[in-house]
Amino acid sequence: MFRVNQQTISVAPEERVDIRLKTLINLVGPAKSLTLQQSGIKSRQSGGYVSRVKGRGMEFDETRLYQPGDDVRSIDWRVTARTGKAHTKLFREERERPVFISLDNRPTMHFATRGVFKSVQAAKLAALLAWAAQHHSDRVGGQIYDKYVCRELKPQSGRHAVLRLLNLILQPQAGSNTPNLSLAEVMNRLIHHVRPGSLVYLISDFRGLDGRVENTIARLARHCAVVMVLIYDPLENNLPEQGRYRFTDRVNDVVVDSHNRNGLIEYHQRFLDRQQTLQDLAKKMRMVMIQCSTEQNPLLVLR
């Protein structure tokens, strides 16, 4: 059982454990108020970011519909004549910045004592960030991983890219006989899927954080703008009052006797150590770290 503080966050009872696609889609409106972590902002019509490659037309990237303010010299006349609609050529140095969202969906994320499950909070944060990126004309891609499987989506433009990510977040994944994926393995996969210059959000409780994970995130931060979003339950940050507490995953029940203070203190200390490690890493590599509890309004946290 988990306790819910409805004065802190208003959530439909059926969505404290599982979230619906409709709810994530409806976050498209609130996401308009968000400004993503950005640097090197360029003219809006050409993608929004200054490239590390100087010059115009170094490498053709793709063609898209003409937008007011586009350079008329970049109009693709062949595509325009073929389709009957004006199209503009985009070059590598002026393409939209990729936004890559890595989302933790391991068993430890399906837990909470207050508010909503960590997994639900993470899904809302991912949806808000994806919609915000789409509002800024950025390309959206992602990585969703659970106990057994890690799936990646190549960044693409438009609303369909966000919907593709949201569907993948909610898509049930069948069990596997393969060994459990470690956080280090997941982060190593991320290194090979994210292009330099991307804006990367890591949404997780960061269970399994160790030296290998730190090194991989540090490597990623050398070539990308990285934002770490730590999801936590209030019980991890504050020890409960003495008593007996029952937790369930709908299959198994576990009773915790808080009179065993040594065990609770050890549990609490592990969270504090993980929290401090992430803060130190963020400071060292000039990354952004955001902390979000299961009770908080994710929109206000991102603001």
Q: Report the residue count for the chain.
A: 303
pLDDT of residue 41: 34
Q: What are phi and psi of 291, to 5 degrees?
A: -115, 135
13-38+97-302 CATH, one of 3.40.50.720, 3.30.70.360, 3.30.43.10, 3.40.50.410? 3.40.50.410
Q: Are 277 and 209 in contact (CB under 8 A)?
A: yes
Question: Per-domain residue ranges for the chain?
Answer: 13-38+97-302, 51-94
Pairing of strands 150-156, 199-204: unpaired
- For the chain, helix (H) and strand (E) counts, in that order, are 9, 10
- Residue 49 three-state SS: strand
Q: Would you state the structure tokens that stand for residue 14, as one six-digit string?
A: 């059926």
Whole-angstrom distance, CA of residue 288 vs CA of residue 278: 10
pLDDT of residue 1: 34
pLDDT of residue 90: 78
Position 53, amino acid: V
Per-residue pLDDT reduced to its tens digit, 125-144 = 999 999 999 999 999 999 99
Q: Would you state the structure tokens that stand for residue 83, as one six-digit string?
A: 């389709």
Which residues fall within 8 angstroms of residue 32, CB to CB, at 6 or more apart? 131, 132, 135
pLDDT of residue 60: 67
Whole-angstrom distance, CA of residue 1 vs CA of residue 250: 9
Q: Closest Cα to residue 111, out of 236, 13, 10?
A: 236
Low-confidence stretches of the chain (pLDDT < 50) are 1-9, 39-57, 94
